[in-house]
Structure 1
Amino acid sequence: MEFLLDTVNLEEIKKGIEYMPIVGITSNPSIVKKSAPEDFFDHMRKVRHIIGKERTLHVQVTATKAEDMIKEAERICKEIDEDVYIKVPTSLEGIKAMKILKQKGFHITATAIYTTMQAYMALEAGAEYLAPYCNRIANLGGDYRELIENVAFKINTEGYQCKILAASFHALSQVEDALNAGTQSVTVPYSILETIFKNPNINKAVTDFNNDWFSVYDEDILNLK
Structure 2
Amino acid sequence: MKFFIDTGNLSQIQEAHDLGILDGVTTNPSLMAKEGIKGEEAITNHYKAICDIVDGDVSAEVLSTDFNSIIEEGKKLAAIHPNIVVKVPMIKDGVKAIKWFTDNGIKTNCTLVFSAGQAILAAKAGAKYVSPFVGRIDDSGWDGMELIGQISHIYQLQGFTTQILAASIRSALHIVKAAELGANVCTCPLESILGLLKHPLTDIGLAKFLEDAKKL
* TM-score, reference length from structure 2: 0.93
Shift of 1:145: 2.1
2:85 is aligned to 85
In structure 2, distance between residues paired with 1:40 and 1:18: 24
In structure 2, distance between residues paired with 1:196 and 1:123: 30
In structure 1, distance between residues paired with 2:26 and 2:116: 22
Pick aligned residue for 1:42 from 40, 45, 57: 45
Structure 1 segments of 4+ aligned residues over 4 angstroms from their partners = none
Q: Is the 8 A contact 2:51 2:83 kept in 1?
A: no
Give the greater-gyration-radius structure (CA): 1
In structure 2, distance between residues paired with 1:37 and 1:57: 17
Q: Secondary structure at the match of 2:196?
A: helix
Shift of 1:15: 0.6
In structure 1, distance between residues paired with 2:83 and 2:67: 21
What fraction of aligned residue pairs are identical, expressed as a percent? 27
Query: Cα RMSD between the aligned structures?
Result: 1.5
Q: Would you say 1:162 and 2:162 are equivalent positions?
A: yes
The one-letter code matched in structure 2 to 1:182 is G
For residues 63-212 of structure 1, the aligned pairs below 5 Å read: 63-78=64-79, 80-212=80-212
Shift of 1:200: 4.5
In structure 2, distance between residues paired with 1:152 and 1:192: 22
Residue 119 and residue 2 in structure 1: after superposition, are their counterparts in 2 closer, same or farther (change >3 A)?
same
In structure 1, distance between residues paired with 2:83 and 2:195: 31
In structure 2, distance between residues paired with 1:189 and 1:111: 17
Measured against aligned partners, the alpha-carbon deviations of 1:48-74 in whole angstroms (never above 9, x if no partner) come to 11113xx11111111011111111111
Shift of 1:100: 0.9
1:220 is aligned to none
Q: Secondary structure at the match of 2:59?
A: strand
In structure 1, distance between residues paired with 2:69 and 2:82: 18
In structure 2, distance between residues paired with 1:166 and 1:186: 5
Q: Secondary structure at the match of 1:197?
A: coil
In structure 2, distance between residues paired with 1:161 and 1:49: 28
Q: Secondary structure at the match of 1:22?
A: coil
Gaps of 5+ in 2: none
Gaps of 5+ in 1: 218-225
Q: Is the 8 A contact 2:4 2:23 kept in 1?
A: yes
Q: Secondary structure at the match of 2:111?
A: strand
In structure 2, distance between residues paired with 1:142 and 1:192: 21
Q: Is the 8 A contact 2:170 2:188 kept in 1?
A: no
The one-letter code matched in structure 1 to 2:50 is V
The one-letter code matched in structure 1 to 2:102 is K
* TM-score, reference length from structure 1: 0.89
Shift of 1:198: 4.2
In structure 2, distance between residues paired with 1:21 and 1:137: 27
Q: Would you say 1:30 and 2:33 are equivalent positions?
A: no
Q: Is the 8 A contact 2:65 2:93 kept in 1?
A: yes
Measured against aligned partners, the alpha-carbon deviations of 1:131-175 in whole angstroms (never above 9, x if no partner) come to 000011111122222221121112222222221000002222222
Q: Secondary structure at the match of 1:142?
A: coil
Q: Is the 8 A contact 2:128 2:162 kept in 1?
A: yes
Q: Secondary structure at the match of 2:170?
A: coil
